[in-house]
Structure 1
């Protein structure tokens, strides 16, 4: 089969399309062989490409956590799926298990969800990592409740644009930061109640004005660096803030302490990295629920650009510009 191999840590050109053995020749008892039709590209992919994977002794590596495709074969003990089922999932791509920049992959059936029937493979492959991240951040780390007010940073981004929709589905009011009018129009269509042009206005003051000086109940940081501690004053006393980035060493915690904020850290790859099976199964259940919302027209995934497998390096270059609205996808040729 054809796959994009990361031959070493470095710039996007280390991603090379090569022919390798199909992983289905050694299918496990509860594994599926999936003919991939699309793979999502996420910031974690570019970070691992630049610095090396979590498993540097297992090179070359195939990146890509997000995948969508068709079940081509099943292990003897598989119960939930059969050949021909369309599926989507977040699995592999961190250096240990093969990722999804490839024509085929294997995955335990416990970590798979049925693909939303109403969307393309590209849209499905764009969804898993960002859906799980936003769900866990808002619903589990942030304990979001109906009627609460939420500030979501970078609402037009991959995680941000689904976070807006999940917050609205919970019955919350949402304000979000964007950089352009085009992105403002986009997030309004997703349900955002208030848009803050952060390059033109102090987002803290804007959030305070929006909440009559009280501050939001929950802030969701998808940007990192200084954004985390700069957001503390925008959150009400005894409120919550969740970040998906590791707090910077220069983070100033004083205002968070003075407001008794509850700090949530969200890294959705932990179950995969640590082999926590129950948590991986829970993430598949999240995808099953989100598939129902997608098919009901309550949740949408924005695909901004698509590339072929052989254009993986070009796709990484685009993502690293930092100006993408929605998600970038690699399409796998259907043979």
Structure 2
């Protein structure tokens, strides 16, 4: 009797418990899927929340293989797949939520529409760090706020995961970019192409007056949430301002925004994975990412530490400690 091939994976068996390294069945590529031999898996704050049982919106129930982002090599191509062949280097935001196997494993069978060819000038580690943060930034700035050249864009949390990519996208598309951060983040924020704002040194009213003559910003991307989203409402441009948030999950008073006749949009990047709708758009966004990256307009901040499936819990602890100097990545191969 033949046995199915196995692969190594890090498995979450119970919320709040360390991931367990074990052998599980290797998936096969079904119709519309490609089998990816995973080389690197990006670590996102959401992975930690899922593991702790604090992310009901991700619809992940143990036992589960986490890991939202991946980079790897196409090992097999299922029926009805066009545009990919065995040996292609790819990246994407492909699972780890909604019961879909994640990237903390040697292989994953993923919806081909979620993938794009890896930028030629990126390593597997760099590519694995990008999908969720780039898609989140792009959906907010381009899909929701309709960013165009010449606009004044404010990014809250400009040195963070989504923030540093949002700054670079806005800059690449011709906007005048501003970003909040701490004083010690000024150099990094300016290197990404933004004018840095020390949020501890000035009030919202003060930097709105200083930088926009009191008029406000055309687009504000909040990547922090909470009180920062409230501050965004007060900094939007009269009549034409648009506030976008990827963390607008609290209760907020809309009066400051309404009194400025401005608008608001939320970004929920997981929706195509959870609903099955709009997945091809994520692949299209990553093709845009590859184009900008290969043109030298986008760089990802990557922490220098290396982790493997055997030390994935150390990677999660490092992410929880918030001491990393950029995105954390787990090497799989």
1:200 and 1:313 map into 2 onto residues whose CA distance is 37
Aligned: 1:118 with 2:121: yes
Match of 1:21 among 9, 22, 25: 25
Report how far residue 76 of structure 1 moved. 3.6
- 2:217 corresponds in structure 1 to 216
Give distance in 1, aligned partners of 2:279 and 2:130: 16
Unaligned stretches of 5+ residues in structure 2: 1-6
* Alpha-carbon distance in structure 1 between the residues aligned to 2:132 and 2:256: 31
TM-score, length basis structure 1: 0.92
The CA deviation string for residues 29-61 of structure 1, in whole angstroms up to 9 with x for no partner, is 2221111000111121111111266445x5300
Q: Distance in 2 between matches of 1:264 and 1:252?
A: 14
Q: What is the match of residue 294 of structure 1? A: 293
> Which residue of the other structure, out of 7, 13, 30, is the alignment partner of 2:13?
7
Taking the TM superposition and a 5 Å limit, the aligned residue runs for 1:145-184 are 145-181=148-184, 183-184=185-186
> Which residue number corresponds to residue 199 of structure 1?
200
In the alignment, structure 1 segments of 5+ residues that lack a partner are none
**Displacement, 1:161?**
0.6
The residue that corresponds to 2:4 in the other structure is: none
Distance 1:86 1:142, change over 3 A: same
The aligned counterpart of 2:42 is 40
Query: What SS is found at the alignment partner of 2:314?
Result: helix
What are the superposed Cα offsets for residues 153-203 of structure 1, whole Å, 9 maximum, x if unpaired? 11111100110011011111111111142x2111211111x1111223324
Deviations 1:81-131 (A, max 9, x none): 111110001111014110001111011222210000111000000111111
Question: 1:4, 1:17 within 8 Å by CA — same for their partners in 2?
Answer: yes
Q: How many residues align structurally?
A: 323
Tell whether the 8 Å contact from 1:61 to 1:95 is kept in structure 2 after alignment.
no
Tell me, in whole angstroms, the C-alpha distance in 2 between the residues paired with 1:226 and 1:308. Answer: 37
Calculate the aligned-residue CA RMSD, in Å. Answer: 1.6
Shift in CA distance, 320/236, structure 1 to aligned 2, threshold 3 Å: same
Change beyond 3 A, Cα 1:259–1:196: same
Looking at structure 2, the residues matched to 226 and 201 of structure 1 have their Cα atoms a distance apart, in angstroms, of 15
CA distance in 2, matches of 1:173, 1:325: 26
1:1-335 equivalence runs, <5 A:
1-10=7-16, 13-24=17-28, 27-51=29-53, 54-55=58-59, 58-181=61-184, 183-192=185-194, 194-238=195-239, 239-249=241-251, 251-276=252-277, 279-304=278-303, 305-333=305-333
Shift of 1:325: 4.2
Match of 1:34, SS?
strand
